[in-house]
Amino acid sequence: MRLIAALLVCLACAAPALAGRVALVMGNGDYIYEKPLRNAANDARDMAERLRAMGFEVFEGIDLTRDQSLRLVQQFSRAMNVDDTALFYFAGHGIQLGSDNYILPVDAEPGTEIDLTKSAIRLQSILRSMESGADTRIVILDACRNNPFLRDRANRSTGESRGLMRMEAGVGSFIAFSTEPGNVAADGAGRNSPFTAALLRHISTPGADIHAVMRAVRADVRDSSNGTQIPWENSALIDEVFLTAAPAPATSTARVPAAIAPAPRHMPRPQGFSETCIEGNYQGGDVRFCASSELTAQGGNSYGPGNLFDGNPATAWVEGVAGTGEGQALSFDFAAPRTVLRLHLQNGYTKSDRTFTRNARVRDLLVTGSTGIETRLRLADSQQWQSFPLPGFANQQWIRLEILSTYPGTHYADTAISGLGFD
């Protein structure tokens, strides 16, 4: 069997890590019911990459719904140990509702305070889970951007709310805001927001504790905003907290031994009752590829998962359940952990223009890895190959692609994909 010119999976390069450091990084910019934020996803991806390089085990989520966010928070909470340093970073829309702060998932719907509390995530609940799981907690919120979601009477004239309220930090907690309470922060004109750009410059400064890092960040943001945005913090730390290794005393000649990276935690892959699987050796490793369902062969045509890798656009995998295919999945099981850098996909049944429009195509795709990392992709309704970077998908034992929504077909509800691959 020929499986893949398109399947190019490279071996992982392990980053140096320090034990006892776990991070949850979330970035929401592709909001369904409001204009997107340009930089939130970039901010989160860049922060996750930086934290991994600093030795954190990172749980990363980009453009997550409320349900997806809560699942990722649970995975993060289960990974914490008492002696750990736990860090939560969020980029996106945040809002004060009543006496609490909330972060907004991409499926949050504009409305009154009561409406929003039902579709938002209470920040204090995330902090409480961190307090019960780890002795040292750091929360960093780049979430005070102009917010159009609140539609209460007092906000109708402006269409927005202003910033987050002050949050109390329990002993062992440090909370940093991208701007002072009640103010808003800029999304930024470049790749990153001003706050996250400054944080990326300073967070890995050798020997700088978290307070020194935030002082440097505050100075940079103040200067770049001409004093209109001043990052804020609330700390109840007892000891200094170093996100990178503290330097050895000047009088000491001892060398600090390199830390040993902890083995990543892997979850079992969700499996259906009627999976169809194929196996082979690709790029020096064994791969088992499974489809949760497939359309029954008809008219001399078969629609199994092997069609995704035969290099023939006139063949396709077509899911085989009633409806439009939401919830159906394709999975790669690796014999040894691998790093997946990019997904390549040819959407729909590309046998002809007519066939392409008659069948449904994938619109939104959820990509999940064995370490719990997730990212949501929006596919174009196009017959051309599409490529998507998958930052953070290092050392994965499996990768799963789940169909979340589809572009409807003119004649058939069945959803099709003609080609698939990784590198």
The 3-state DSSP class for residue 417 equals strand
Band (pLDDT 50/70/90 cuts) for residue 26 is very high
**Mean pLDDT score of the chain:** 82
What is the topology classification, in CATH, of domain 276-422?
Jelly Rolls (2.60.120)
Give the N- to C-terminal CA distance of the chain in Å, as an integer.
Answer: 20
Residue 4 — pLDDT band, cuts 50, 70, 90? very low
Read off the pLDDT of each residue in 164-180 and give the average, rounded to a whole number: 78
Q: Lowest mean pLDDT: which of 6-15, 151-160, 281-290, 306-315?
A: 6-15
Radius of gyration of the chain (CA): 23
Identify the pLDDT of residue 381: 93
Q: How far apart are CA 269 and CA 267, in angstroms?
A: 6
Average pLDDT over residues 383-395: 89
DSSP state of 89: E
Tokens of 350: 């590309």
Q: 216-229, pLDDT tens digit by residue?
A: 999 998 888 888 88
Q: Check whether 5 has a pLDDT greater than 50.
A: no
The long-range contacts involving 74-82, CB below 8 angstroms and separated by at least 24 positions, are 75/267, 75/372, 76/22, 76/24, 76/129, 76/372, 77/129, 77/130, 77/132, 77/133, 79/22, 79/265, 79/372, 80/22, 80/130, 80/133, 80/134, 81/20, 81/133, 81/134, 82/133, 82/134, 82/135
Q: What is the CATH number of domain 21-235?
A: 3.40.50.1460
Looking up tokens 């991806």 gives: 45
Per-residue pLDDT, averaged over 368-390, amounts to 89
Rounded Cα distance between 166 and 363, Å, is 39
| pLDDT attached to residue 257 | 46
Give dist(CA 91, CA 141) in Å, integer.
6
Q: How confident is the model at residue 208 (pLDDT cuts 50, 70, 90)?
A: confident
What are the φ and ψ backbone dihedral angles of 75, each rounded to 5 degrees? -65, -45
* Residue of higher predicted confidence among 82 and 166: 82
256 against 167, higher pLDDT = 167
Element (H, E) at 213: helix 210-224
State yes or no: pLDDT of 147 exceeds 80: no
Domain residue limits, the chain: 21-235, 276-422
At 372, is the pLDDT very low, low, confident or very high (cuts 50, 70, 90)? confident
